[in-house]
Chain A
Amino acid sequence: MVRKFDIGVAAALIVISVAVYWESLSMPPAFYDPIGPAAFPRALSVTICFLSIILIINAFRLPSGKSIQATRQPSHRLRADLTVGSAILTGIYTLLLTLRQLSFAVSTTVYLISFILLLMPFDRRRLLYAIIIASVMGFGGGYIFTHVFYIDLP
């Protein structure tokens, strides 16, 4: 998994470095100083490309089957599925706030209830706790943010 990720990242970085170099070609020549605005981005794009190639070579040098990362895994099971779920929920929450379809208090309450229920098996008692915490945070938290910390809410 680590090997695949490293290769994927390296490939993406090579594409980014080519794009950066391409964009730097449209920058004006040196005027106020001897090297101009394009020199640093160009040097960086070449460096990133070079480092990405090394990363790919290193990834292929890793012993197959078991990576070095795998030898350091903790004893408990990692729940990447929950992380992906929380990322999707957070994305939807951000979208809701950006579109301004619901108020901060309502969208935060809904988001928190969904998030808490995502992290634990469903039962009535937990649902009640989730609703209480989410409402306190959504409505009460909103009041504290705006009236105590003087923060403008989305």
Chain B
Amino acid sequence: MIDLLLLFKGFGTVLSGYNGVALLLGSFFGIIIGAIPGLTATMGIALLVPFTFGMTPITGIVMLLGIYTGAIYGGGIASILIKTPGTPAAMATTYDGYPMAQKGLAGKAIGIATISSGVGGTFTAVCLAFFAPILANFALRFSAPEYFALAVFGLSVTITLSGRSPVKGFISGTLGLLVAMVGLDPMGGFQRFTFGRSELTGGLSFVPMLIGLFALSEGFRQVEIIFSAPKVNVVIRNILPRLSDLKSCLSAYIRACPIGLIVGITPAIGADTSAFVSYAETKRSSKHPEKFGTGVPEGVAAAQCGENASTGGDVLPMITLGIPGDAATAVLMGALTIHNLQPGPMLFKNQPEVVHEIFAGMILANITFVVLGLIFARFFAQVINLDRKYLTPVIFICCMVGSYAINNVFYDLVTCVVCGFIGYLMIRYDFPVAPMVLAQILGGMMESNFRRALVMSRGDPLIFLTRPITVTILVLATVTTIVAVRRQLQALRQAEAAAMAENVD
């Protein structure tokens, strides 16, 4: 169960000294990252992880949580003002946010988006604080077969739900697994695929690879579309919404909060799905669904609330089981590991005070971006107009400095640049990047636990079919994979048919 005393101590720690400043800076920078179309929360975290090395673990983690929640919220600002989502998750906000801005209600839309994001994010952060200790306590019963099954589940769902082509998703995932094989064999310590290079003994450097795949690749992508940046030319006033406006959004909050939490917990689907499902559900249950899409505050509230409500759900499996739900939490997990905090049930047992500080940080991060969002709304709107011809090269420099800073070796610099270009090609040609990174994290866990389980059973593979939790998770993984692959194949066939019909025309 949650330890309220530790949680309140956590609030004190997060608000004291440098931690509070780090949270403010993280949130501020996160909103800026989110507001600029093309820059994502994952990129923001990956970019700034190395800058937290000189900080204490909790200061660094709090700053990254601020970036994470701030960037997810910030995506909505660009959606409202220029109909281009700042982050992919904010697409649903364009439906009613942009029409509101067109009616001269940009300030009101931003105000509602800010408070709705805060409501969703705070709800889910509180749920995280309450449910995570229970799940972690349950996970203490897990052994090697269960962890293997969890890794298979996380991996299969991630692969099948990321991207549009299941084959490309699987290829990306298996390549990630292959990268995870580089280094020392987890059981015998035998060197695999190191080609005699001492730098590869510990495996491919994870953070430079992350920075390359998520930040530098996006930088290359930004260069490609450098001349397509739209400008903000609407007036923003009356940002603070009236109480009556918020009352009308209450039904949207009641639906979006639990939807966001559940969607967030499900691996591979995060803020974007949550926002769409919340929007659709609020529209379906509304008394006037025909008004949705024309600029109603409930539409903005549902999308933004659902979007941020997924953040706590995304963090839950990562912190309790060590299984990241999406790319952003994979990067967060990497950051925790760098600060010597290994996510999983043992973290709750060995360092409960740190866990509660993270919970407190997550709750406060959601409150911080609301305050900053309401005060600096006009500034964040102007950030969208930043000339990317100057900004993009600076992002490149941050990527390079960050990847070098981890081990102070040039080999990491090369890893970052190579992974950056590979990531760019993957994005350009429809290969999802997230499965590759998640597979690299889960690959080691999968192999070592599979082999440990076989040692436990003296080589009998039936161990995976005789333990109830393992069987349940493996059946879930199989069913989810089959359903997802079938859906994707259907969608692909429809797209093929449409493309062929277009060719005939």
Contacts and interface: CB of A to CB of B under 8 A. Distances in A.
Interface in B429-449: 429-431, 447
B226 A47 contact: no
A119 interface: yes
Contacts of A67: 499
A133 B450 CA distance: 52
Interface residues on A, range: 35 or more
A78 B421 contact: no
Contacts of A129: 390
Nearest to A34: B459
Interface in A60-111: 61-71, 74, 76-80, 82-83, 86-87, 90-91, 93-94, 97-98, 108, 111
A20 to B, nearest CB: 7
Contacts of B220: 83, 86-87
A152 interface: yes
B503 A40 contact: no
Contacts of A66: 499, 502-503
A15 interface: no
B379 interface: no
A80 B429 CA distance: 13
Contacts of B502: 66, 71
Contact of B408 (A37, A80, A152): A152
A149 interface: yes
Interface stretch (B102-110, B170-178, B250-258, B343-351): B170-178
Contacts of B401: 141, 145, 151, 153-154
Interface stretch (B26-34, B72-80, B199-207, B391-399): B391-399
B168 interface: yes
B25 to A, nearest CB: 11
A87 B224 contact: no
A106 to B, nearest CB: 13
Interface residues on B, range: 35 or more
Interface in B5-56: 50-51, 53-54
Given A41-B192, A44-B174, A63-B503, A74 B225 contact: yes
A122 B119 CA distance: 48
A128 interface: no
A105 to B, nearest CB: 11
Contact of B227 (A58, A65, A69, A76): A76
Interface string A28-59: 10011111110011001101100110110010
Nearest to A63: B500
B224 A55 contact: no
B178 A71 contact: no
A37 B223 contact: no
B185 interface: yes
A31 B499 contact: no
Contacts of A137: 394, 397
Contacts of B455: 32-34
Contacts of A51: 167, 170-171, 174
Contacts of B464: none
A95 B296 CA distance: 54
Q: Which of A44, A58, A66, A67 has the most CB of B within 10 A?
A: A44
B128 to A, nearest CB: 29
Contact of A41 (B181, B226, B397, B404): B181
B496 interface: yes
Interface stretch (B134-142, B363-371, B410-418, B469-477): B410-418
Nearest to A126: B389
B498 interface: yes
B228 interface: yes
A48 B168 CA distance: 11
Contacts of A145: 401, 405
Given A66-B503, A74-B225, A28 B188 contact: yes
Interface string A11-27: 00100100010010001
A40 B447 contact: yes
A87 B405 CA distance: 21
B454 interface: yes
A82 to B, nearest CB: 5
B339 interface: no
A137 B424 CA distance: 25
Contacts of B492: 68
A18 B157 CA distance: 27
A62 to B, nearest CB: 7
A141 B405 CA distance: 14
B193 interface: yes
B187 interface: yes
8 contacts: A28-B188, A31-B188, A67-B499, A77-B227, A86-B223, A90-B417, A120-B389, A133-B390
Task: Kindly list the 9 A-B residue pairs having the minimum CB-CB distance in the complex, ordered from nearest.
Answer: A150-B54, A34-B459, A76-B228, A37-B185, A115-B393, A151-B405, A119-B389, A33-B451, A98-B410
Given A40-B450, A63-B503, A67-B499, 10 more contacts: A28-B190, A45-B178, A48-B174, A55-B167, A66-B499, A66-B503, A119-B393, A133-B390, A151-B54, A154-B413
Interface of A: 2, 5-6, 9, 13, 16, 20, 23, 27-28, 31-37, 40-41, 44-45, 47-48, 51-52, 54-55, 58, 61-71, 74, 76-80, 82-83, 86-87, 90-91, 93-94, 97-98, 108, 111-112, 115-116, 119-120, 129-130, 133, 137, 141, 145, 149-154
Interface of B: 50-51, 53-54, 165, 167-168, 170-171, 174-175, 177-178, 181, 185, 187-188, 190, 192-193, 219-221, 223-228, 389-390, 392-394, 396-397, 400-402, 404-405, 408, 410, 413-414, 417, 420-421, 424-425, 429-431, 447, 450-452, 454-455, 458-459, 492, 495-496, 498-500, 502-503
